[in-house]
Structures are given as structure tokens and as C-alpha cells.
A and B are shown apart, each in its own frame.
Chain A
């Protein structure tokens, strides 16, 4: 194992994730920009995802969490729309227009007692540095030519290492099946030149699919426009290549702190320190190998 080369491949900015994974002549990195400021909470994404990917029903229970009965992402929930009810965040006043089209002189303040209902469709982030993939011992999780992270169900043996590795709590083992599942960013559809099922269905284009670089530009423009419209609370989440996972392949425009949406404020790839850890592990393994070799008088272990 060429440990020396792994340092910058497990954390920090990484321009060419697919190339790094051995894909030569690969397409641009594709991803999602989920603009929650236009999400209407219809859950078309959840259903379209399940229809396309034949993801099983995930339980019929009323959660009491506003209109969210999906509760979280999981092995059988690859899109999850969160609903957050907040008091004291009235919808902002829009400049009314006078009959001649010019902005009127008085804009009304938002009603202070008003409620705000945030809605946001969460999904696997397809991290630049995907800990789930890094810890997968079977090679089931892999980086596609689109730069996305996909579980291969013909490989996965259900060891579950990926589950605690994910800094977002996305991937999980499906009970009754035993294997790990999560969003594939509709890998099969991408191969056919189609957009993922959720983005295709989304009535208001809250979920936008495209080349990640282009999505980042679009998102920056959108934030700027919202700020100009008097909505300073608009911010991006998961967009920066400098964050703890090297930037997400699926990032978000939020209208409040990430925690409000149930998102970790500062996710860090759990394998960031893998290089250092590996050196320790290698030393330990070497010790073990000596012991094993001594015990069985074989040379197998020494190939490490």
C-alpha cells in the first residue's frame, strides 16, 4: 500500500475525484444542488426515487414531526424531506409595485408573530472524500466516473463498516436484507444520459442536477439574489471544497443553521486521519504478522 500518497486523497480539496479513482476520459463530476428556498415539501422526490430504484416502503408511522413521517435518510429512504415549523419568522415583505411598475414607497414589515415552515429535501452528499467508500472492505462502495459514490449490491456483504463512517448518517443496513443501501444518484440513469428521478420529478426545481462546477456557480448567484432580496439568512451548505469532506457532490441552499435541518454543522470525513492511523495500524499489523508467521511458519503475512 502506497501510504505516502494517501494523505491528500482522504481530505481537503480534490479537483478530479473521478480521475483520482482511476476513471480516464471521464465525464464532468455530476451532483445535486438542492435549493430549499423553493421547496414546497411535496415529497415527489421521495416517491420518484422509490419508484425508480424499487426502494421498499419504510414503515407506516405518524411521527408528529410536522408533515415529516419519513424522519431520516436510511437504507430504504434515499430522499428525505424535512419540515421545520418556526415561530417568529414571518415571510419577508416583498416590495409591492405601484401601478406604473415602480416599487412602491412603503414595504410592509413581516408580521412578527408569523410562522415559517422550512422544507428541505435531504440526500446522500456524495462527498469528495467519502468515508463510507474509504472504509468499505469489500469494494462494494465505489466512485463512479461521474464522481458519485455508489454501493454495488452485488458486492456488499453487509459488514456495516460504512454505517458509522458516514459523517451525515446517510448510509444504513436494510433490515431483512442485510446489505447497505443509499442514494446512487441514479447511476443507471446517468449512464443513459438521464437526470436522477428525484430531480426529474421536482415540481419547482428545488432539486437541480448537473455538472457540479456549474451548480456551484448557479448556487452562488442564487444566494446573491436572495441576499439582494432581503433574505440574508440564505447560505450554502456542503458547497465548499475546503470543508471537512472536501465539498459535497450534493449541496444545499439553506435558510437557517444546518442543525435546524438536522444536518451536522461541520462534518468531517471520518477517515481524514486514516493515513496516520494506518501507519500505526501497519506497525501493529507487522507485529502481528511476525507473530502469525512464527506460529504457522508460512510466508504469507510477510508480503505485507
Chain B
């Protein structure tokens, strides 16, 4: 780089005659800075949501651009949270866009030492088969004294506190129809 170029690149020199004689403001503003737009402004849509971590239930606004979540922040309209989020809630975008997420079905066969691939459709079908089989094999119609039990003690489930009410509802409904009673969630832990 020549000395001349070097000097001319210096804002203090470059803007001697401008309103920013020291080249520390307007004169120094780059094209990148001039074109800067908050990405929330560029979102295709803003979707109202609720924080998935604890049970305070803070309001969230989810910004979506090109079908990707680009930002999640507090919803100022919420009378509960007034737009604020804790560090976990503030990490929600990282959570939903995390490269650590499992996005493909993984399968480990009995005694296997590695994960294997499995089609989702196949996996659900295999699970349905196992539910039907286990239910049949472990069914209890009555106890020793002839009282009705109508259940299986061979199938159990744990989870629900992080799920939606609608999901818990379908779980309880299906499990009860199956006769599976060992259905539990974090509320017991």
C-alpha cells in the first residue's frame, strides 16, 4: 500500500472538508453500517409463542424468515413477563435451531453396539407392533380374587411436563384405552 493511499484512507484526512472533521462519525460510516437493518424487521412473519422452559409462562415472539426461526424474544404484551426473558428463555432460538438436535430416527437393535438408520414410518409401525404384542403378553384381566384389572403392567411411560396439554390428553387417552396405567411425568419427580 502506498503512502498516499494509506493517508487517503485515514478518515481524519479523508473528511477534512466534511461535517465530521475528525472522521469519527458520519464520515467513517461504512456501507455495511448504512445498510444495516435489524433482522426482526426483515421477518416474513412474527408468531406468538410461550417459553418452553419453566412454568412462569413468559410470552415469546418468534421471528421467521424463509421458514427459519431467526429470532425469539420476549413478548411485551404479556402481563406475566412484560417482554422479559431469563437466560434460558433468551437461548430459545439456539434451542430450536441447535445443531445438537436429533432430526433423524435412530435405532439400536438388541445387543447392538451402534446406532442404525430407520425410516420414521417403519419405526412407528415397529413400535405399534411392540405395543400390541407386549400388551397381549402382559395383559391382566382380573386379580387373584377375580376383581377386574383390565390392564397391562408391561408398558410404562414417563413424560408430559414439557409437552402441550393436547399431547398429554392424547397420551392419557390412548394409554388408558390400552390398559397401560404406569403413566407418569416429572410432576412425580
Do the beta carbons of A2 and B21 come within 8 Å of each other? Answer: yes
Do the beta carbons of B37 and A152 come within 8 Å of each other? Answer: no
Q: Does any Cβ of A come within 8 Å of B23's Cβ?
A: yes
Contacts A23-B25, A47-B90, A201-B90 hold; do A154 and B73 have CB atoms under 8 A apart?
no
Q: Does any Cβ of A come within 8 Å of B71's Cβ?
A: yes
Q: For A1, what are the chain B residues with a Cβ–Cβ distance below 8 Å?
A: 12-13, 16
Q: For B150, what are the chain A residues with a Cβ–Cβ distance below 8 Å?
A: none
Q: For B28, what are the chain A residues with a Cβ–Cβ distance below 8 Å?
A: 139-143, 152, 155
Chain B residues bordering chain A, tally (CB within 8 A): 48
How many residue pairs between the two chains, A and B, have CB atoms under 8 Å in the bound complex? 134
Q: Does any Cβ of B come within 8 Å of A194's Cβ?
A: yes
Contacts A51-B94, A201-B84, A300-B3 hold; do A143 and B25 have CB atoms under 8 A apart?
yes
Q: In B73-91, which residues have CB < 8 Å from any A CB?
A: 73-74, 83-91
Q: In the docked arrangement, what's the CA distance between A24 and B25, Å?
A: 11
Q: For A140, what are the chain B residues with a Cβ–Cβ distance below 8 Å?
A: 28, 30
Contacts A48-B73, A200-B73 hold; do A20 and B25 have CB atoms under 8 A apart?
yes
Do the beta carbons of B71 and A143 come within 8 Å of each other? Answer: no
B-side interface mostly: mixed
Q: Does any Cβ of A come within 8 Å of B36's Cβ?
A: yes
For A57, the closest partner residue in chain B by CB is B94
Q: In the docked arrangement, what's the CA distance between A1 and B13, Å?
A: 7
Q: For A47, what are the chain B residues with a Cβ–Cβ distance below 8 Å?
A: 87-88, 90-91
CB-contact partner of A152 in B32, B83, B84, B88, under 8 A? B32
Q: In the docked arrangement, what's the CA distance between A201 and B87, Å?
A: 8
Chain A residues bordering chain B, tally (CB within 8 A): 50
Q: Does any Cβ of B come within 8 Å of A97's Cβ?
A: no
Closest 6 A-B residue pairs measured CB to CB?
A21-B25, A22-B20, A22-B26, A154-B32, A142-B28, A139-B28
Query: In the complex, given contacts A24-B19, A44-B87, A51-B94, what are 16 additional A-B residue pairs having Cβ atoms less than 8 angstroms apart?
Result: A1-B13, A2-B21, A22-B19, A44-B89, A141-B28, A142-B33, A143-B28, A154-B31, A154-B33, A155-B30, A188-B39, A192-B37, A192-B41, A197-B90, A201-B84, A304-B7
Which residues of B come within 8 Å of A, CB atoms? Answer: 3-4, 7, 9-16, 18-33, 36-41, 71-74, 83-91, 93-94
